[in-house]
């Protein structure tokens, strides 16, 4: 489905953020694309892509629907894809079939002369929207009042901010400016240890579940990981709790991953006693604790690829990825923990009709929906990203260039 009404702007940061006047806004999709059949759209996308040749690279997130992923040159998680674009120096146009914060990261990591295009500007991320810059700044001020701003005897700052990749460029910039860092679901443990070596505590946003699961895994007691609710005084906590804290968790979550439950795991084990349950660390802590393993999309993919033939997997992550893995590895039984789980609804807004629209415009020399992060935000954001990169190299994305579409 494409949007039947004029879609709003999904800034990836917050619907409450003040948008620069230059921000692109998603308007109505022209009627010719709304009315085009599936077959016509397919032909138009392939023709437009072929005409652009090396000038174009299309990136598809793991959670993107197959109808769109089939046109991607690379498939991976957000950070893998941003890096993949760098391997295509001839590409003038990077079309990112993901959500807004991913396109922002790709823009910050690509050359200034490369244009990053998000086919539908209403493709935001509800989790990223839960932490906006103003609320984080207010939190920082309140924490400074309670905790001061002087380092302790070991030279550790009172608080080191850590933002998940699933956040706006503005928050990554905030981290860059305040001695903080970015993390992914693959490297959250290393990043949190880095932060706690430099700070008496970390402020982790926007995903409370990734923060809590990671903190718990490195031995931090739950009572030292208070939740910060931005709508309440001192985040709903008190001075003593904050002083004793090691990780302060922002009150954010992924609406897709919070749907998984311990009962679903119990039901899967009852049906298939040999099942191996793997969930994403954006799932709530009791779900991660009840699973056999938890890890990023990259981890899940590799675990399935390495399993002996005939394995059974119950997976707790977005349905498009689970279904793709089930098709890709027919030698295993792979199913989603939640049989009625919804796809990531914002990523789902990238319909082939939007892809056809932006690609045909590029062929006419028109760059629609370009995502540009202002340099005053991009500069500190890159500092926070580089701190992360200096910790551990990320794995490479899956190249789709040689892969037949039929293998999906």
Binding stretches for ligand SF4 (CB under 6 A): 63, 99, 125-127, 166, 254-256, 318, 344, 346-347
Q: 237 vs 346, which CB is nearer to ligand SF4?
A: 346
Q: How far is the CB of 131 from ligand SF4 (least distance, A)?
A: 12
CB of 2 to ligand SF4, least distance (A): 18
Q: How far is CA 349 from CA 8, 97, 316, in A?
A: 11, 10, 22
- Please report the beta strands in 98-223, taking only residues with DSSP state E, as ranges in sequence order: 115-117, 160-164, 181-183, 202-205
Cα–Cα dist 38/32, whole Å: 12
| Residue 268: strand, helix, or coil | helix
Cβ proximity to ligand SF4: between 306 and 340 the closer is 340
Binding-site members for iminosuccinate are 61, 78, 164-166, 185, 280-282, 297
Which segments of 218-349 does DSSP mark as H helices, in order?
A: 239-244, 262-271, 285-290, 297-305, 319-328
Going by the DSSP 8-state scheme, the letter that residue 350 receives in this structure is: -
Instruction: Select 97 or 383, whichever has its Cβ closest to ligand SF4.
Output: 97
Which is nearer to ligand SF4, 88 or 257 (by Cβ)?
A: 257
Binding residue numbers: 61, 78, 125, 164-166, 185, 254, 280-282, 297, 344
Closest to 248 measured CA to CA, from 215, 285, 284, 297: 215
Which residue, 158 or 397, has its beta carbon nearer to ligand SF4? 397
If phi over 0 gives left and psi between -120 and 50 gives alpha, with beta otherwise, what is residue 398?
Answer: beta
- Shorter beta-carbon distance to ligand SF4: residue 280 or 400: 280
- DSSP letter at 379? H
Q: Which residues of 155-189 are buried (b: 16+ CB within 10 A; e: fewer)?
A: ebbbbbbbbbbbbbbbbbbbbbebbbbbbbbbbbb
Minimal distance, residue 16 CB to ligand SF4, in Å:
17
> Minimum Å distance from CB 254 to ligand SF4?
3
Q: Do residues 359 and 95 make contact, with C-beta atoms less than 8 angstroms apart?
A: yes
Q: C-beta of 158: minimal distance to ligand SF4 in Å?
A: 29
Smallest separation, CB 124 to ligand SF4 (Å): 8
Q: At what angle do helices 352-363 and 38-52 cross, to 10 degrees?
A: 40
Mention every residue, 6+ apart, whose C-beta is less than 8 A from residue 7.
26, 120, 121, 122, 349
> Is 102 or 377 the residue whose CB approaches ligand SF4 more closely?
102
Q: Taking the alpha carbons of 318, 319, 323, 329 in that order, is the dihedral positive or negative?
A: positive
Nearer Cβ to ligand SF4 (49/351):
351
The residue among 208, 408, 220 whose CA lies nearest residue 321 is 408
Minimum gap (Å) between residue 284 Cβ and ligand SF4: 13
Nearest approach, Cβ of 126 to ligand SF4 (angstroms)? 5
C-alpha distances in Å from residue 241, one per residue of 98, 139, 160, 257: 38, 15, 17, 28
Binding-site annotation: residue ranges for [4Fe-4S] cluster:
125, 254, 344
Please, which residue, 206 or 230, has the CB nearer to ligand SF4? 206
Q: What is d(CA 100, CA 63) in angstroms, rounded to the nearest whole number?
A: 14
Helix, strand, or coil here: 61?
strand
Q: Are strands 74-76 and 276-279 parallel, antiparallel or unpaired?
A: unpaired
- In the complex, what is the shortest distance from the CB of residue 59 to ligand SF4, in angstroms, rounded to a whole number? 14
């Amino acid at each position: 489905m494409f949007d039947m009404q004029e879609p709003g702007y999904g800034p990836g940061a917050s619907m409450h953020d003040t948008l620069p006047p230059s921000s692109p806004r998603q308007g109505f999709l022209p009627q010719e694309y709304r009315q085009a059949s599936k077959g016509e759209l397919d032909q138009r996308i392939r023709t437009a892509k072929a005409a652009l040749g090396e000038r174009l690279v299309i990136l598809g997130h793991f959670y993107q629907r197959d109808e769109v992923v089939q046109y991607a040159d690379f498939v991976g998680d957000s950070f893998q894809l941003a890096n993949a674009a760098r391997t295509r120096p001839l590409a003038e146009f990077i079309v990112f079939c993901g959500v807004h914060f991913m396109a922002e990261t790709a823009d910050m990591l690509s050359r200034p002369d490369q244009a990053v295009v998000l086919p539908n500007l209403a493709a935001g991320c509800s989790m990223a929207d839960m932490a906006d810059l103003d609320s984080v700044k207010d939190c920082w001020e309140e924490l400074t009042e309670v905790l001061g701003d002087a380092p302790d005897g070991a030279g550790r700052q009172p608080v080191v901010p850590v933002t998940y990749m699933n956040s706006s460029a503005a928050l990554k910039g905030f981290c860059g400016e305040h001695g903080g860092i970015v993390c992914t679901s693959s490297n959250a443990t290393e990043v949190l240890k880095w932060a706690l070596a430099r700070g008496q505590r970390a402020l982790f946003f926007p995903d409370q579940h990734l923060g809590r699961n990671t903190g718990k895994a490195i031995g931090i007691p739950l009572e030292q990981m208070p939740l910060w609710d931005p709508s309440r005084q001192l985040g709903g906590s008190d001075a003593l709790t904050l002083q004793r804290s090691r990780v302060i968790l922002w009150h954010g979550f992924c609406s897709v991953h919070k749907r998984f439950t311990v009962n679903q795991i119990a039901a899967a084990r009852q049906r298939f006693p040999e099942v191996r349950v793997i969930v994403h660390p954006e799932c709530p802590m009791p779900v991660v604790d009840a699973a056999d393993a938890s890890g990023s999309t990259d981890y899940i993919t590799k675990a399935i690829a390495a399993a002996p033939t005939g394995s059974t997997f119950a997976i707790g992550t977005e349905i498009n990825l689970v279904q793709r893995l089930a098709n890709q590895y027919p030698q295993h039984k792979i199913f989603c923990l939640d049989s009625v789980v919804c796809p990531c609804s914002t990523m789902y807004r990238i319909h082939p009709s939007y892809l056809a629209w932006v690609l045909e415009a590029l062929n006419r020399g028109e760059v629609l929906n370009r995502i540009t992060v202002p340099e005053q935000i991009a500069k500190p954001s890159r500092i926070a990203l580089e701190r992360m990169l200096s910790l551990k190299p990320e794995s490479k994305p899956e190249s789709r260039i040689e892969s037949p579409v039929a293998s999906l």
